[in-house]
Amino acid sequence: MKHKRFMALGLATLLSLSVVGCSTPNTTVEDSGSTSASTSGSTAQTVSGEKIFRYSNKADIATIDPNKINCVPDATIGYHVYDGLYRSVQGNLQPAVAESHTVSEDGLVYTFTLRQDAKWSDGEPVTAQDFEYGMKRLCDPAAACSMSYLGVVFKNGAAVTAGEVPVDELGVKAIDDYTLEITLEHPADYFLSMLSMSQFMPVRQDIVEQFGGEFGGGADKQVYNGPFVVTQFGEGRLVMEKNPNYYDADSIKLDGVEVLTVADGTTAVSMFNAGDLDLAEVPSDLAPQYEGQTLSYYDGSNDYAALNHNNEYLANKNFRLALNYAINREEYNLLSHNGLYAENLRYVLPQVRGVEGEYGTEYPLEFFPLQGDMDKAQEYLTVAMEELGVSDPSEISLKLVVSDSDASKKEAEVVVNQWKNNLGIDVQINMVPYATRNAMLVPNSTEFDIIMTGWVPDYSDPYSYLELWYSTSSYNYLNYKSEAYDSYLDASKTTTGKERMDNLFNAEKVLLEDGALVPLQLREVQYMVSDRVENLGAYFIGLNYDYMYTDIVA
């Protein structure tokens, strides 16, 4: 099991700086709502053919409009029904609709030559104009795509999205039917890997104009050019069938895929056991029962208790360190997740890409002891209380905000209990709806002292985690201000290779030395796959399961 997991991770990390996928915290940082739990399997009565792969998501697929996809489960569908310029298959970048490309010397202009046998599911050829239209639509303010910030990589991308410059001036241009020229705002090595994301897929202008706002809102309100086509979308299920028009259809083994909405994780596991699904994510409550039968992958999120540095107590560095050392992360993990997640003793997910290999291997760090250090915590607390003029720890009262999912509720209870036992401080939990909690994640919020949250990276690089806490970042809800931290991040922008990575590592260390937040865990999704399924991949960025080349045997 473990081997498979690491293989999947390794493959995933091969995607250097891959900005793959549209991971929104909405779907992956929380166990509530829309996280995808997948289960698959069994013969489906609703799809013709024999090799049907069945799995489930916790929430309905929101849209199949490629530009508007904004969460991992939806991006997984997009990955399988659309075909972009390039495609990352099992972690390797492969030509897809683009046969080849050239890059100008300054690294700004990419010219793609498209294959001429690519067809839409309605028989029309896939042309450079379709790509141009799709990418312009992503940035068009009138189309209002939630992931439009990905388009800033294009020349004028940010300006177009902000409505300052007409869409026509975006750096994407079809030279002829099969030649596409893309101009970037600045050189970006990771640009090619972005092209595999759903948001950069070709889009047919005539179809968009035909359906208007409802484009991508139903199986027949869109055309497809990927290995599968959607034949049913809505009413709690999405059904895909193999696309006979796909140029590489011979390599596709599955006849179809059925994606069900099963909100209850326990139900999904039961359905897996009954053979109704081929793949099921196992809730951590149930995981011990299935020990040895599960695979797992990191979904990229690093959960932490964010501290609001505007609070009078939390502004004190020694107090923050006391909070950090008082957490026994091993016990925390055992209590809240049956020990199935990985304890996070640093800030950045170690599996992201470093200079050449994994960041965690190149820059190992166990900043906070696995079981905490109660003596150190007490020392820091004593100093902090002196500095704060507090005589008894119980005088310190803090408000911890947590969203309403079962998992985060449990996490909060464990953390608060450890602080109470180990430091004697009183932290009140305030449970709020998910949307309410999200609205608090802005700089200078006065709604929380501590808030349970996490981050899912957009691309495989420590910077994706670290950029949040730059003092002027619009994400800096910690209100963390550190000159040293800022200067390391600044330095990383002007350096490359190992030097750049050193800067990022130093920034991470500064963050931890300041105890800016309390890192807790790295999420490791446990899932089961039926024995008859072969060649299924799982990734931690951009999509969760890759079943493009999956086969069903027996």
Partner 1 sequence: MSEIKTELTKEQFEIVGKNIEKMESISRPSLTFWQEAWRRIRSNRAAFFSLILLIIYVLLAIFAPMLSKYGFDQQDAYAMKQGLSLEHWLGTDSLGRDLWVRVWMGARVSLTIGLLAAVINSVIGTILGGFCGYYGGKLDMVVMRIIDVIYGIPSLIVCILVMVVLGSGVQSLIIAMVLVGWTGTCRFTRGEVYRLKEQEFVLAAQVMGEPVFTIILREIIPNIMGLLITNLTMAIPGAIFQEAFLSYIGLGISPPQASWGVLAKEGTKMLQVAPHILYVPAFFICTTVLALNQLGNGLRDAFDPRLRGTE
Partner 2 sequence: MTKYILKRVGISLITIFVLVTVVFFLARLMPGGPFNDPKLSETARENLSAYYGFDKPIFEQYITYLKNILSFDFGFSTKYPSRTVNDLLAGSFPYSVDLGVRALCFAISFGLVFGIISALNRGNKIDLIFVIIAVIGTSVPDFIMGAILQYFFAIEWGLLPIAEYKGFAYTILPSVGLGFYTMASVSRIMRASMLEVVQQDYIKTARSKGISRFRVTWKHQIRNAIMPVITILGPTVAAVLTGTFVIESLFAIPGMGKYYVESVQNNDYSLILGMTVFYGTFLVLCNMIVDILYGIVDPRIRIAGK
Query: Applying CB under 8 A, does 431 fall inside the site for partner 1?
Result: yes
Closest listed residue to residue 311, CA positions, set 296, 302, 323? 323
Residues 6+ apart with CB under 8 A from 203: 66, 67, 130, 133, 134, 137
The amino acid sitting at 186 is H
Coil/strand/helix, residue 135: helix
Nearer to partner 1, 205 or 436 (CB): 436
- How many residues contact partner 1, by CB under 8 A? 32
Query: Applying CB under 8 A, does 286 fall inside the site for partner 1?
Result: yes
Query: Applying CB under 8 A, does 294 fall inside the site for partner 1?
Result: no
Q: In 329-391, which ranges are E strands?
A: 342-343
Q: Name which position in 7, 89, 334, 390 contacts partner 1 (CB under 8 A).
A: 334
Cβ atoms of 216 and 63 closer than 8 Å:
yes
Q: Which does 242 bind (CB under 5 to 8 A by kind): partner 2, partner 1, none?
A: none
Cβ atoms of 314 and 486 closer than 8 Å:
no
Minimum CB–partner distance for residue 400 and partner 2 (Å) = 17
Q: Token pair 């599955």 is at which residue?
A: 254
Minimum CB–partner distance for residue 43 and partner 2 (Å) = 13
Query: Applying CB under 8 A, does 410 fall inside the site for partner 1?
Result: yes
Q: Name which position in 365, 432, 468, 491 contacts partner 1 (CB under 8 A).
A: 432
- Distance of alpha carbon 64 from alpha carbon 219, whole angstroms: 8
Query: Applying CB under 8 A, does 187 fall inside the site for partner 1?
Result: no
Six-digit token pair at 58?
């916790």
Query: Applying CB under 8 A, does 428 fall inside the site for partner 1?
Result: yes
Q: Which does 251 bind (CB under 5 to 8 A by kind): partner 1, partner 2, none?
A: none
Q: Name which position in 403, 482, 503, 506 contacts partner 1 (CB under 8 A).
A: 403
Coil/strand/helix, residue 112: strand
Minimum CB–partner distance for residue 235 and partner 2 (Å) = 5
Q: Which does 335 bind (CB under 5 to 8 A by kind): partner 2, partner 1, none?
A: partner 1
Residues 6+ apart with CB under 8 A from 481: 309, 471
Residue 397, judged by CB atoms within 10 A of its CB (0-12, 13-18, 19+), counts as exposed
Query: Applying CB under 8 A, does 416 fall inside the site for partner 1?
Result: yes
Minimum CB–partner distance for residue 213 and partner 2 (Å) = 6
Query: Applying CB under 8 A, does 283 fall inside the site for partner 1?
Result: yes
Q: Name which position in 185, 413, 513, 551 contacts partner 1 (CB under 8 A).
A: 413
Site string for partner 1, 228-267 (x = CB under 8 A): --------------------------------------x-
Q: How many residues does the chain have?
A: 554
The amino acid sitting at 346 is R
Residue 65 burial (CB count, 10 A) = 24
Span interacting with partner 1, options 11-19, 148-156, 187-195, 432-440, rule CB under 8 A: 432-440
Nearer to partner 2, 355 or 441 (CB): 441
Q: Name which position in 414, 512, 520, 538 contacts partner 1 (CB under 8 A).
A: 414
Cβ atoms of 40 and 76 closer than 8 Å:
no
Query: Applying CB under 8 A, does 370 fall inside the site for partner 1?
Result: no
Coil/strand/helix, residue 230: strand
The single-letter DSSP state of residue 9 is H
- Distance of alpha carbon 86 from alpha carbon 79, whole angstroms: 11
Site string for partner 1, 4-43 (x = CB under 8 A): ----------------------------x-----------
Residue 209, judged by CB atoms within 10 A of its CB (0-12, 13-18, 19+), counts as exposed
Site string for partner 1, 103-142 (x = CB under 8 A): ----------------------------------------
List the Cα angle 338/36/277 in 5-degree steps: 90
* Interacting residue ranges for partner 1, rule: CB under 8 A: 32, 266, 283, 285-286, 288-289, 331, 334-336, 402-406, 409-410, 412-414, 416-417, 420, 428-434, 436
